[in-house]
Amino acid sequence: MKNYDFSGRVAVVTGAGGEMGRAIVRRFADGGARVVLLDIREDAVAGAARDLGLEEGSYLCAAADVSDPDSVAGAIGRITEEFGRIDFLVNLAGIEGPNNSRTEEYDVRLAEKVFSVNAMGTLLMMRAVLPVMQAQRYGAVVNFGSVSGMFGYQGEIAYGASKAAIIQMTKNAANENGGNGVRVNSVSPGWVNTAMFRRILKQYESTYDDPMENVTFGPMGRPAEPDEIAGIVVFLCSDEASYVNGSNWLADGGMTLG
């Protein structure tokens, strides 16, 4: 497992209270970055910071509702006041919504919630952070798409469409910023061994006798572990990826090969 040199850098990770967020935070911290842990509840990220053993002064925990412009603006203002810069932004925060509802049966209010957190949350965070990076003439953003945003899986119209929007927004922002020292890329995982995976399996119980009947891992035969995805994230933020801009990194273990 390679550690990149992130000394003097500041990394902001949304959705940092979950397993994937913790893995990403740990990789940045191992590289010497100061890390900002953002989540809807501050106690969730405070617990993550304790569990990870982060050193006092090397991190900041903050609550932010990424779907709320005022909440996002307040959090970014606090971060810049505390650390003076933002070098890396990882837009991980997201919700799955229903994963077993057909299009004609999908609850409109739940669809709006999925879009507000996943797509609008990504947009609002980029909208608040990109000016900071532009002023520095340095920065890297990693957004989270999904295989669901690339392929039309049944029962996932809101989640899949929200992730497709994120992949497209990534390309738009990358095109706008590629010449000013700021790069924007996305990662699109398949199944990852997290609480979201387990919640989706629980939803499948209403349709399948064995929920795993609707899960395809592909030739590797297993879900990714959070740290495997975290490794891609920190690479995309590192100077080794200095010419990578506007890309969508598919990380699915081959599940979409057919």
Q: What is the per-residue DSSP string for 113-179?
A: HHHHHHHHHHHHHHHHHHHHHHHHT-EEEEEE--GGGTS--TT-HHHHHHHHHHHHHHHHHHHHHTT
Would the pLDDT of 6 be above 80? yes
1, part of any domain? no
% of the chain beyond a pLDDT of 90: 81
Percent of the chain past pLDDT 70, that is, above it, reads 97
Catalytic hit among 4, 59, 159, 204: 159
Q: Is the pLDDT of residue 80 over 90?
A: yes
177-192 per-position pLDDT tens digit: 999 999 999 999 998 8
Nearest partner of 88 among 125, 142, 134, 135, judged by Cα: 142
Name the least confident of 71-75, 88-92, 161-165, 203-207: 203-207
- CA separation for the pair 79, 65 (Å, rounded): 15
Quick one: CA torsion of 189, 140, 169, 156, rounded to 10 degrees?
20
What pLDDT band is residue 98 in, cutting at 50, 70 and 90?
confident
Whether 59 is in a domain gets the answer yes
Q: Is the pLDDT of residue 212 over 80?
A: no
| 45 domain-assigned | yes
Domain with residue 148: its CATH number is 3.40.50.720
Please tell me the total number of residues recorded for the chain in this structure.
Answer: 258
The answer to whether position 86 is within a domain reads yes
DSSP string, 44-86: HHHHHHHHHTPPTTSEEEEE--TT-HHHHHHHHHHHHHHHS--
Distance CA 215, CA 109 (A): 27
pLDDT for res 100: 81
Please give the structure tokens belonging to residue 80: 């810049």
Note whether residue 156 is domain-resident.
Answer: yes
Cα-trace Rg, the chain? 18
Q: Is 208 a catalytic residue?
A: no
Is residue 4 situated within a structural domain? no
Which pTM does this prediction carry?
0.94
Specify if 3 maps to a domain: no
Burial of 47 (0-12, 13-18, 19+ CB in 10 A): middle
What is residue 97's predicted lDDT score, i.e. its pLDDT?
A: 86
What are residue 185's phi and psi, to 5 degrees? -135, 170
Residue 69, in any domain of the structure: yes
Q: What gap in Å lies between CA 32 and CA 63, rounded to an integer?
A: 23
Query: pLDDT-derived band of residue 206, with 50, 70 and 90 as boundaries?
Result: low
Domain count, the chain: 1
Give the residue with greater pLDDT, 177 vs 3: 177
Which has the closest alpha carbon to 24: 50, 55, 46, 52? 52
What is residue 143's predicted lDDT score, i.e. its pLDDT? 99
In Å, the largest CA–CA distance within the chain is 55
Confidence at residue 218, expressed as pLDDT on a 0 to 100 scale: 85
The residue segments making up the domain with residue 244 are 10-251
Cα(38)–Cα(49) distance, rounded to whole angstroms? 11
